[in-house]
Amino acid sequence: MTQHYVGSELELFSTAANWKSYFSEVIGPFVGGRVLEVGAGIGANIPYLYGDKVEEWMSLEPDPDLAGRIGEGIEWGTLPARCQVQIGTLRDVDAASLYDTILYLDVLEHIADDAAELAAAANHLAPGGHLVVLGPAHQFLFSAFDEAIGHYRRYNSRSLAALTPIGCTLQHCCMLDAAGFFASLANAALLRAAAPSPRQIRLWDGVLVPISRVLDRVTAHRFGKTVVVVWRR
């Protein structure tokens, strides 16, 4: 099944090296073995999460143009040789295929029936495998930007925990980017911008994310604009 992605933010956020390094440190311990990244976009997360524990990495992306970018990266050697790319959605994955890690990184909020999606994903988890979701937090922060890039919703710890698939147990839940929360609040309440500018991305990634690394520890990861949940089968 192919789809054409309506958002235009992938290139912008691909430059957010501090942010990608930060959340990768948080979810990295759960990433290993056979990995399936659902909605992989242009493959911008792979360099940050592909480590020694990864045996193979399947990038699943419904947009043929974006999937093509991943394929080019593998061919040119800018992405690891053990990466593969498949055009489609979870329903296009062989029913017998099992993975040790399944990733939804800023993806689940784009899917209308998120509960059904996670239930289907759990069926592709190997015993002891991890299902990892990272997404935007707090529905009251829903903005013109969320709407423009096709978000159905934002989450919090409770709403994501309520989606726990049958056969899985909640293993980890935390909030990230406390400093970025206030920038998102300003955008939702005041600026109402349909997309951040490159300058705003640089400011957030270069200044706010390093601050969040400190604030998140101080607040015990109970506050932020991003939520991370990990389930284990």
Point out the least confidently predicted range of 37-51, 118-132, 180-194: 180-194
* Rounded Cα distance, 213 and 180, in Å: 11
Nearest-angstrom CA–CA distance, 11 and 18: 15
Under a CB-based contact definition with an 8 Å cutoff, are residues 140 and 125 in contact? no
Q: Whole-number mean pLDDT of the chain?
A: 92
Helix extents (H) in 124-177? 144-148, 157-161
More confident residue, 176 or 143: 176
| Assigned architecture for domain 10-232 | 3-Layer(aba) Sandwich (3.40)
Whether pLDDT at 170 is above 70: yes
Q: Higher-confidence residue: 182 or 47? A: 47
The pLDDT tens digits of the residues spanning 64-120 come to 999 999 999 999 999 999 999 999 999 999 999 999 999 999 999 999 999 999 999
Q: What is the pLDDT of residue 156?
A: 93
Helices (H) and strands (E) in the chain, counts: 10, 7
Share of the chain above pLDDT 90, in %: 81
Average pLDDT estimate for 109-134: 97
* pLDDT tens readout for residues 190-228: 555 567 788 888 999 999 999 999 999 999 999 999 999
Mean pLDDT across 127-133:
98
Q: Is the pLDDT of residue 14 over 80?
A: yes
> Does 48 score more than 80 pLDDT?
yes
| One-letter identity of residue 118 | L
Share of the chain above pLDDT 70, in %: 93
Q: Model-level pTM?
A: 0.94
User: What average pLDDT does the segment 146-167 reach?
Assistant: 93
DSSP line for 56-87 = EEEEEES-HHHHHHHHHHHHHTSS-TTEEEEE
Return the pLDDT at 187: 67
Q: What is the pLDDT of residue 200?
A: 86
Whether residue 5 is predicted with pLDDT greater than 60 in this model: the reply is no
* Predicted local confidence at residue 174, as pLDDT: 97
Residue 182 confidence class, pLDDT cut points 50, 70, 90: confident
32 closest CA partner among 6, 58, 62, 55: 55
How far is Cα 229 from Cα 156, in angstroms, rounded to an integer? Answer: 10
Q: Which pLDDT value is given to residue 155?
A: 97
Domain extent listing, the chain: 10-232
pLDDT of residue 209: 97
Please give the pLDDT value at position 3.
60
